[in-house]
Amino acid sequence: MVEREALTELARYTELKRALESRDDAWLDARLRRFQGFTMMSAQPGPHFGLGLAAYATWTSPIRKYGDMVNHRLIKRVLKGEQAPAEATQQLTEQLTERRRLNRMAERDVKDWLYVRYLTPAAQNQDTFEAEIMAINRGGMRVRLLENGATAFVPAPLMHSDRSKVVIDDKEGRIQIEGEERYKLGDPLRVILTEAREETRSLVAKPVA
Burial of 2-12, coded b for 16+ CB within 10 Å and e otherwise, reads: eeeeeeeebee
58 and 23 assigned to the same domain: no
198 and 119 assigned to the same domain: yes
Task: Give the residue numbers spanning the domain of 79.
Answer: 44-88
49 and 64 assigned to the same domain: yes
Determine, yes or no, domain membership for 74: yes
67 and 6 assigned to the same domain: no
**What is the per-residue pLDDT for 113?**
97
Determine, yes or no, domain membership for 100: no
Residue 186 CA: distances (Å) to CA of 19, 162, 170, 175, 197 = 16, 25, 13, 12, 25
Question: How many structural domains is the chain composed of?
Answer: 3
**What is the per-residue pLDDT for 199?**
94
The tens-digit pLDDT sequence of the chain (209 residues) is 556 556 678 888 888 778 777 777 778 777 777 777 777 888 888 888 878 888 888 877 787 788 888 888 888 888 998 876 666 778 888 888 898 899 999 999 999 999 999 999 999 999 999 999 999 999 999 999 999 999 999 999 999 999 999 999 998 999 999 999 999 999 999 999 999 999 999 999 999 98
9 and 64 assigned to the same domain: no
Determine, yes or no, domain membership for 95: no
The answer to whether the beta carbons of residues 198 and 120 sit under 8 Å apart is yes
116 and 199 assigned to the same domain: yes
12 and 77 assigned to the same domain: no
Determine, yes or no, domain membership for 94: no
Determine, yes or no, domain membership for 97: no
8 and 24 assigned to the same domain: yes
Determine, yes or no, domain membership for 162: yes
Determine, yes or no, domain membership for 151: yes
**Contacts for 168-174 with beta carbons within 8 Å, 24 or more apart?**
168/136, 168/137, 168/138, 168/139, 168/140, 169/136, 170/136, 170/137, 170/138, 173/27, 173/30, 173/31, 173/34, 173/136, 174/136
153 and 130 assigned to the same domain: yes
118 and 194 assigned to the same domain: yes
